[in-house]
Amino acid sequence: MDLFEYQGKQLFAKYGLAVPSGEVADTPEQAKAAAEAIGGTVVVKAQVQVGGRGKAGGIKLAKNPDEAFAEASNILGMDIKGHTVNRLWIETASDIKKEYYASVTFDRSAKKPLVMLSAMGGMDIEAVAEEHPEALARLHVDPLIGFQPHHARWLIYHAGIDEPAQKGVLDALTRAYEAFIGLEATLIEINPLIWTADDRVVALDAKVSIDNNALYRHPDLEALKESVTDDEQERMAHERGVTYVKLDGDVGIMGNGAGIVMSSLDVVALAGGKPANFLDAGGGSNAEAVATALEVLLSDPKVKSLMINIFGGITRCDEVAEGLLTALDKLGATLPIVVRLDGTAAEAGRAIIAERAPANVVVEPTMLSAAKRAVELAKEAS
Amino acid sequence: MSILVDQNTKLVVQGVTGREGQFHTLRNKAYGTNVVAGVTPGKAGQDVEGIPVFNTVRDAVEATGANTSMIFVPPRFATDAIYESLDAGIELTIAITEGIPAHDMMRVYTHLKRGDQRLLGPNCPGAISPGKATVGIMPTDVFTPGRVGIISRSGTLTYQISKEIGDLGIGQSTVVGIGGDPIVGSSFIDILQMFEADPETDLVVMVGEIGGDEEERAGEFIAANMKTPVVGYIAGFQAPPGKQMGHAGAIITGSSGTAQGKKDALEALGVRVGTNPTEVAEIVADTLK
């Protein structure tokens, strides 16, 4: 789960990591009130989960509450790389002496936390890593030992952090690691981590991702979960617990298991078609899961044909077939549906479809032939 | 031979009395796997169709000599179950459970690598040596005894590829699901190493997918260390680039992680890669000729 900047900063504050004081605003009026409460010059920041907000005009300085109102009016509703701005974070403007970069992430390759620090913050850190690899200090931490002060010192010296800021950065890194562990985050990224004119070290941005599998231990974080998508199918899938990603094609795809669904997208593309989505109904898909998944797929008007690709392991193909019939009964869909069933109870499943399914449902024997047929039918329908 | 599971497997099942645990335990047993014990705290003295239940893994090991454990307990208890299995000296732990928190697995992995025990999974379908033993949830009738080893991160895709290969009359020595989670106990390289040492495996199929750099690293291992031919498959060419937050992840993996990047990397190292499961089976047949 990815958090918004304002959520990340509120959590940082709980871990004692310094952040500029700020407030959330959903309207220009609220932005004005926030600016009044904070006092002085404020920054109006669009809350979207995408990089390049500043360049897109989503971050503006406001010298007084009226300017905050005006900037908020401009930014709210703005589209930043496909993300609509619905919320702002208003915070006190900082007097920046220098911008650093700090992160704690979960390194999938080393299977350990990785702490990174650079004195070249505020800019595109990927470019820094590429062009000045020596400027990005990296250190893996043994998760059974934890982040020790000598780790922080090593990073600070190797990143070349300015002497007056060193103590503040050491403290910030330690607290960022504590937040990483405490929140069960997969990423804590602070870019920039600033050294202020009055020699404080403050997190000016916050990117925080939380491990979904750990949310059961963090009911307070679970409550932060909000739908960040404007897409109807994605929202519907999210509400029903279906793993779904929308793509831009017209062949709807459903399968059981992420691997076989990804493979199905690939074979549809190889057959000259364009997949409309990724939908994993899950291993152990029962009739109900299939019906739910179909509802999501069929609600998308762009979908011209469906490919249902099931390889039964725990999943029983006869249950899938029953679920399909139930869903079609209820939804009354008429678009062509190509079904491929293999594995556990595949023959029973195919028999159910042959005997009782409406004419728009066809069975294909292999994954490749099913993909080819679904692509042809989508082309005929459009 | 074969690897990981065979006639010498003495299986204890953690979570044996749960609905899924019981179902798959009995299926494994029916296939011929030597299931010697089950563990459910508080249920010692009971049995599951003749399989004795113990309170702890250590009790089960002492009474039965179990050397392999299969974990079926829910995610919030599974981390403890893995540690319990390791502490009881189990040689091979196979964790089927899906949804174990990543921070737990970071610690488990670090602990695991300090010893020489083996962990398969979590979030994996298990392993099967056709005709000998199966531990896990794989649909056994897809597999036939033979000389091709299969390693995969995905369950259903493993069944698909095994069937495609089987349709060409080619059987498997052992089929291993290493699991789809970001941190799993055994990597492609760990299992490739075992297949390389197995005289009854003539070829290995490695089924990868997008994300991480395991496939690329496996490619380097294959080029440097393997005489047994390896055929690759990568799923996810059409997958949209993951909605990534921040850039720390991209710095670590560089350009790797995409299906195309993995395919290119493997091919550059001399590993043939099929573009779909059917083609993979054809390449396997062609290589074995």
A179-212 pLDDT, tens digit each: 999 999 999 999 999 999 999 999 999 999 999 8
Per-residue pLDDT, B247 = 54
Domain boundaries of chain A, sorted by first residue: 21-92, 96-222, 232-381
Per-residue pLDDT, B273 = 96
Whether A288 has a pLDDT exceeding 90, the answer reads no
* Closest CA–CA distance from residue B63 to any residue of chain A (Å): 31
Question: Would you call A347 exposed, middle or buried from its count of C-beta atoms within 10 A (0-12, 13-18, 19+)?
Answer: exposed
CATH of domain A96-222: 3.30.470.20
CB nearest to B75's CB, from A213, A267, A283 = A213
Location of each CATH 3.40.50.720 domain in chain B: 11-120
Whether B253 has a pLDDT exceeding 90, the answer reads no
Whether A374 has a pLDDT exceeding 50, the answer reads yes
Per-residue pLDDT, B243 = 42
Superfamily of domain A21-92: ATP-grasp fold, A domain (3.30.1490.20)
* Closest CA–CA distance from residue B240 to any residue of chain A (Å): 7
Could you tell me the pTM of the whole model? Answer: 0.91
Contacts 24+ apart (CB under 8 A), A232-236: A232/A299, A232/A300, A233/A277, A233/A296, A233/A297, A233/A299, A233/A300, A236/A295, A236/A296, A236/A299
Which A residues 261-300 touch B at CB under 8 Å?
262-263, 265-270, 275, 278, 283
Q: Which CATH architecture has domain B126-288?
A: 3-Layer(aba) Sandwich (3.40)
CATH of domain B11-120: 3.40.50.720
Q: Which is more confident, A127 or A335?
A: A335
Band the pLDDT of A118: cuts 50, 70, 90. very high
A43 Cβ contact partners less than 8 Å away, ≥ 6 residues apart: A20, A59, A60, A61, A62, A90, A91, A92, A93
A6, A67, A99, A101: which is the annotated catalytic residue?
A: A101
Nearest residue in B to A310, CA atom: B156
* Average pLDDT score over residue span A347-359: 92
* Closest CA–CA distance from residue A262 to any residue of chain B (Å): 5
Tokens of A250: 């017209």
Between CA B206 and CA A224 the distance in angstroms is 39
A157 catalytic residue (yes or no): no
* Average pLDDT score over residue span A278-282: 85
With an 8 Å Cβ cutoff, are A343 and B142 in contact? yes
Whether A20 has a pLDDT exceeding 60, the answer reads yes
Nearest CA-CA partner of B149 in B135, B167, B130: B130
With an 8 Å Cβ cutoff, are B155 and A257 in contact? yes
Rounded to the nearest integer, the mean pLDDT of chain A is 91
Band the pLDDT of A292: cuts 50, 70, 90. confident
* Average pLDDT score over residue span B16-26: 93
Q: How many CA atoms lie within 13 A of A142 on its CB side?
A: 8
Other CB atoms within 10 A of residue A19 CB: 22
Band the pLDDT of B248: cuts 50, 70, 90. low
CA distances from B59 to B39, B41, B88, B94 (A): 9, 11, 9, 19
* Average pLDDT score over residue span B20-38: 96
A189, A295, A319, A322: which is the annotated catalytic residue?
A: A189
Helix, strand and coil content of chain B, in percent to the nearest 5, comes to 40, 20, 40
Per-residue pLDDT, B236 = 85
A68-107: pLDDT as tens digits: 999 999 999 999 988 899 999 999 999 999 999 999 999 8
Band the pLDDT of B186: cuts 50, 70, 90. very high
Which residue of B77, B154, B156 to mutate against A (max A Cβ within 10 Å)? Answer: B156
Per-residue pLDDT, B245 = 43
Nearest residue in A to B99, CA atom: A213
Other CB atoms within 10 A of residue B233 CB: 32
Q: Is A256 at the interface with chain B, CB within 8 A?
A: yes
Least reliable range by pLDDT among A350-354, B26-30, B252-256: B252-256
Q: 3-state DSSP call for residue A206?
A: coil
Tokens of A100: 């650093």
Per-residue pLDDT, A177 = 98
Which A residues 30-59 touch B at CB under 8 Å?
49, 51
Same fold, A21-92 and A232-381: no
CB nearest to B139's CB, from A103, A245, A344 = A344
Q: Which is more confident, A132 or A118?
A: A118
Whether B136 has a pLDDT exceeding 60, the answer reads yes
* Average pLDDT score over residue span B56-74: 97
Whether A263 has a pLDDT exceeding 70, the answer reads yes
Band the pLDDT of B238: cuts 50, 70, 90. confident
Q: How many CB pairs under 8 A join A and B?
A: 185
Per-residue pLDDT, A284 = 61
CATH of domain A232-381: 3.40.50.261
Least reliable range by pLDDT among A175-184, B82-91, B148-157, B192-201: B148-157
Q: Is A177 at the interface with chain B, CB within 8 A?
A: no
Which A residues 192-251 touch B at CB under 8 Å?
207, 209, 211, 213-214, 216-217, 245, 247
* Closest CA–CA distance from residue B245 to any residue of chain A (Å): 7
Whether B44 has a pLDDT exceeding 70, the answer reads yes
Identify all chain B residues contacting A216, using CB atoms and an 8 Å cutoff: 75-76
With an 8 Å Cβ cutoff, are B236 and A262 in contact? yes
Tokens of A89: 């974070």
Percent of chain A residues topping a pLDDT of 70: 98
